Amino acid sequence: MLYWLLYPLTNWWFGFNVFRYITFRATFAAVTAFVVSLLLGPIVIRRLRAANLGEKVRRGEDYRSIEKEHSHKEGTPTMGGLLILVAVLGSTLLWARLDLAPAWVAMGAMAWMGAVGFLDDLIKLRGRPGRRGLPGRVKLLGQVLLGLGVSWFLFGASETAEWAPQMMVPFSKHPLLYIGPGAVLFTILVIAGSSNAVNLTDGLDGLAIGCLGIASLAFAVLAYVTGHAGLADYLNILFIPGAGELTVFCATLVGASLGFLWFNSYPAQVFMGDTGSLACGAAIGTVAVLIRKELFLLLVGGVFVAEAVSVLSQKFYFKLTRRLYGQGRRIFLCAPLHHHFQVRQVAENKITVRFWICAIICALLGIGALKLQ
């Protein structure tokens, strides 16, 4: 919005020329999202508390080992993802070029999964006791529809149809891989997997949002070089016109993550809930798809991947051993992975910081993969 309002005034004063630069707008978009989060955070927390939208600690055989560690979190306001959505969407609308479609697609993806997560949280908190929110198949349907929508944009828009069937392969001498019509199914898989992986990581104070901010910063770099013709040619990667505006979107994710972390750090004053985790995961997955760097998501989002794999492997191994031996066995003491360390009596804030360190290393590997071919 500011681009269209102020950049045309360049003829009147040369200083307005800075609005043409993505780096300038991305920087101030991040700062705006951070400030919005800080200012609205206390208000949102009070409203959530007044509405009695407090966290309900999971109970049952699978969570018995960590119930004691999480008992003090009972009643902490949740659905704080609304704060992230407002900060990200508002700041993107303010600083991005709205004549370019990629930013709109990313915002739409985040808003869509934010709505799905909102319903999920609302049913869990307002529904009958023991209700676990939306059925898994309904959330999956929402993710599939989002994947189809993003695929429709990629293959239906004349600007993107040419490069939509291609994908960047990290650490490869021939970085472009043609996947053809399979790109639709792959897009659904990436977006659904990313959304669910962030959701699974959201289990300790500050864990998911800290890792998200780090991953968003890495994807801001990836989006910038993808949308810059000179850098894309130098790095021998696919140049995608308009992709640079996703740098602004990713920057708002960074700023909003830092702002939310202000209130979500240990001990948390608010949780993002599925409203935030599903939306943020879908946003990162959508950016990866739009810049055709889906495989980079495995590197940059290594912590999210590890968390998701720990859950899937735990369930598979338990069902397999129950069928073979009549009694299910577990690989981890508790899944997702962060709960395994918690059961081993590692302090919660230490687990969080160590996972952040791993997230930073993963982000550096993802960025480094641009050059290591």
- Give residue 353's pLDDT: 97
Average the pLDDT over 13-25 and give the result: 84
Distance (Å, whole) CA 281 – CA 313: 21
Task: Report the alpha-carbon angle 15-17-22, nearest 5.
Answer: 125
Measured CA to CA in angstroms, residue 88 lies from 14, 96, 130, 215, 259 at distances of 29, 11, 32, 15, 11
Confidence band for 358, pLDDT divided at 50, 70 and 90: very high
Indicate whether 62 pLDDT > 60. no
Instruction: Give the mean pLDDT of the chain.
Output: 89
231: its two tokens: 């850098």
- Give the pLDDT confidence score for residue 66 in this predicted structure: 62
Q: Which is more confident, 16 or 331?
A: 331
pLDDT band, very low/low/confident/very high, at 128 (cuts 50, 70, 90): low
Question: Is the pLDDT assigned to residue 58 strictly greater than 70?
Answer: no
How far is Cα 219 from Cα 151, in angstroms, rounded to an integer? Answer: 20
| Dihedral of alpha carbons 112, 32, 359, 262, sign | negative
Phi-psi region of 20 (alpha: psi -120 to 50; beta: other; left: phi over 0): alpha
176: β partners: 168
Q: Examine the pLDDT at 60 and tell me if it is beyond 70.
A: no
DSSP classification of residue 8:
G
Lowest mean pLDDT among 40-54, 108-122, 169-183, 265-279: 169-183
Note the pLDDT of residue 70: 62
Which stretches does DSSP call E strand in the chain?
166-168, 176-178
Which carries the bigger pLDDT value, residue 71 or residue 129? 71
Q: How far is CA 80 from CA 37, 114, 256, in A?
A: 10, 11, 12
Cα separation, 89 vs 214, in Å, equals: 19
Helix 273-290 to helix 101-126 angle (10° resolution) is 160
Higher-scoring residue by pLDDT: 252, 15: 252
DSSP notation for 23-77: HHHHHHHHHHHHHHHHHHHHHHHHHHHHTT-B-----SGGGGGGHHHHGGGTT-B
Mapped onto helix, strand or coil, the DSSP state of residue 79 is coil
Instruction: Please give the angle made by the CA atoms of 138, 64 and 204, to the nearest 5 degrees.
Output: 65
If pLDDT is split at 50, 70 and 90, which confidence band does 157 have? confident
Instruction: Supply the pLDDT for residue 351.
Output: 96
Cβ(110)–Cβ(85) below 8 Å: yes
- Contact between 269 and 49 (Cβ < 8 Å): no
Q: Are 16 and 7 in contact (CB under 8 A)?
A: yes
* Cα 282 from Cα 213, distance rounded (Å): 14
pTM: 0.93
pLDDT given for residue 372 in this prediction: 80
Farthest CA pair distance, the chain: 79
Task: Note the pLDDT of residue 65.
Answer: 59
**Helix or strand holding residue 276 (H, E):** helix 273-290
Report the 10 Å Cβ neighbour count for 158. Answer: 6
Listed in sequence order, the residues at least 6 apart from 5 whose beta carbon sits closer than 8 Å to its beta carbon are: none
Stretch 135-163: mean pLDDT, rounded?
Answer: 87
Query: Given the structure tokens 């999964």, which residue do they identify?
Result: 113
pLDDT of 236 strictly over 80: yes
Which of 298, 330, 304, 302 is closest to 316 using CA atoms? 330
Q: What angle do CA 298, 303, 308 make, to 5 degrees?
A: 80
pLDDT at 339 > cutoff 60: yes
Token pair for 3: 């681009």
Residue 42: is the preceding peptide bond cis (ω within 30°)?
no
Residue type, 262: W
pLDDT score at 129: 56
pLDDT value at residue 68: 64
